[in-house]
Amino acid sequence: MSLLSVIDIVNTACARIGEDPVESLTDDLGGGQSASLIYDETVDFNLGLQPSGFSFAREVRQLSKLTDAEPLTGYAHVYDIPGAYTGLPVFLSDDATDPDCRFTRYILTGGQVHSDADPLFAMVKFRPDPNRWTGTFKTATITALAGKLAYAIASNRGAYSDFMQEAYGTPSEGFRGGQMRVALSEDGFANPPRRVQVDRNPLTNAWRS
């Protein structure tokens, strides 16, 4: 089975609105560059609808300590978040081997993390290749992309409204209805709730120390 690419997603959306496929996403003579920009905006927005990150679009990364940075916040270290990512970190941890560990002794400023901990890890959200998407997220994204392309190419406001409602539901649902509701529900089953951390509180920590 061949892997889906960005141009496959764009051309599926084009097929949904009866437009010819684009040959390249870097050449704007056939609308490819504009379609690429709309794709980026649509996918990043859809990924942001799951605050904790879709399970296929998040991963734990070790933060990169900047040895030449001088923190002005009172903390000892300054970290960068390595690699491409979207949005703020889901959580930080000073122990990547403990899935329940949530670290709070830090501040996020200027896109960097300041903390005394070393090393430090973060669960970050990123934009994965389409072949990693779930089927439900793929369908919702293609539908939304089709609506935006219908408006961008032909100024077809009626088609835009129909596709957007199919993808996201009614305006009162805050972009969490329609096909996207199914994608969010499916992802919810892949992200079970964490157990209550009854042993992580100031009194217990003081007693253990």
pLDDT at 190: 80
Q: How far apart are CA 121 and CA 106, in angstroms?
A: 12
Residue 94 · residue 121 · CB < 8 Å:
yes
pLDDT at 179: 98
pLDDT at 90: 94
Q: How far apart are CA 82 and CA 154, in angstroms?
A: 40
pLDDT at 1: 56
Length of the chain: 209
The string of DSSP codes covering 48-68 is: HTSTT--GGGEEEEEPEE-TT
Residue 149 · residue 143 · CB < 8 Å:
no
Helix 178-190 with 157-168: angle, nearest 10 deg? 30
pLDDT at 31: 78
Q: How far apart are CA 56 and CA 92, in angstroms?
A: 19
Find, among 50, 45, 25, the residue nearest to 187 by Cα. Answer: 50
**Pairing relation of β-strands 77-80 and 121-125?**
unpaired
Instruction: Return the structure tokens found at 146.
Output: 């089709």
Q: How far is Cα of residue 94 from the mean position of the Cα atoms in its chain? A: 23
pTM metric for this prediction: 0.86
Q: How is the chain split into domains, by residue range?
A: 8-52+134-190, 58-127
Find, among 54, 21, 30, the residue nearest to 183 by Cα. Answer: 54
Q: What is the mean pLDDT of each run of 10 residues along the chain (209 residues)?
A: 88 96 83 92 97 95 94 94 92 91 93 96 96 97 98 95 98 97 94 60 56
